[in-house]
């Protein structure tokens, strides 16, 4: 057991960083708090590694974003069967739009910075931002496809009654 611990310890930051990067929208949620504190940092328990704290807490803060992305994927998979369930709401579309815009901007920013500094951590963050830009776009695409499907169904209903 000790041998396994010694083997994985040097890679701990890599794994924790990956967990944090996958939940990057939680960092966007905490950004206003961090900017308004005197230390310009998010809250974390004293003596705890910030990366470990983020890896533990950010997945919980990111649950609504994962839920919205999952509903968009569900909606896109059933739209080919002429179904409009689950129906994507305006709030989900707005959150997806904001998330897409912010993460696309961060994606380009971190990608340029990673190219300049040759830092793999910045590349990981850029990849996570790119992922969330795509996941945010899914709710927009699903909403558009559902709207178009409802219009087609409405036109077909009118044509069948005429």
> pLDDT tier at 7 (50, 70, 90 boundaries)?
low
Q: Are 82 and 3 in contact (CB under 8 A)?
A: no
The pTM score is 0.87
What pLDDT sits at residue 3? Answer: 60
Rounded CA separation 132/107 (Å): 9
How far, in Å, are 19, 22, 155, 161 from residue 99 at the CA level? 18, 14, 33, 42
How many Å separate Cα 103 from the centre of its chain?
8
What pLDDT sits at residue 9? Answer: 67
Q: Each residue of 49-89: pLDDT tens digit?
A: 898 899 999 999 999 999 999 999 999 999 989 988 899 99
Rounded CA separation 162/150 (Å): 18
What pLDDT sits at residue 1? Answer: 52
């Amino acid at each position: 057991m000790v041998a396994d611990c010694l083997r994985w310890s040097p890679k701990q930051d890599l794994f924790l960083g990956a967990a944090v990067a996958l939940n990057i929208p939680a960092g966007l949620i905490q950004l206003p708090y961090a900017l308004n504190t005197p230390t310009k940092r998010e809250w974390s328990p004293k003596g705890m590694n910030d990366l470990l704290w983020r890896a533990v807490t950010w997945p919980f803060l990111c649950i609504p974003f994962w839920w919205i992305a999952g509903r968009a994927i569900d909606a896109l998979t059933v739209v080919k069967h002429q179904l409009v369930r689950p129906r994507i709401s305006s709030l989900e579309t707005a959150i997806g739009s904001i998330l897409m815009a912010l993460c696309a901007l961060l994606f380009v920013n971190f990608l340029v910075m990673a190219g300049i500094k040759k830092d793999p951590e910045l590349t990981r963050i850029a990849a996570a931002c790119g992922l969330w830009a795509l996941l945010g776009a899914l709710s927009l695409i699903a909403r558009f496809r559902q709207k178009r499907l409802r219009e087609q169904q409405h036109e077909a209903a009118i044509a069948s009654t005429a």
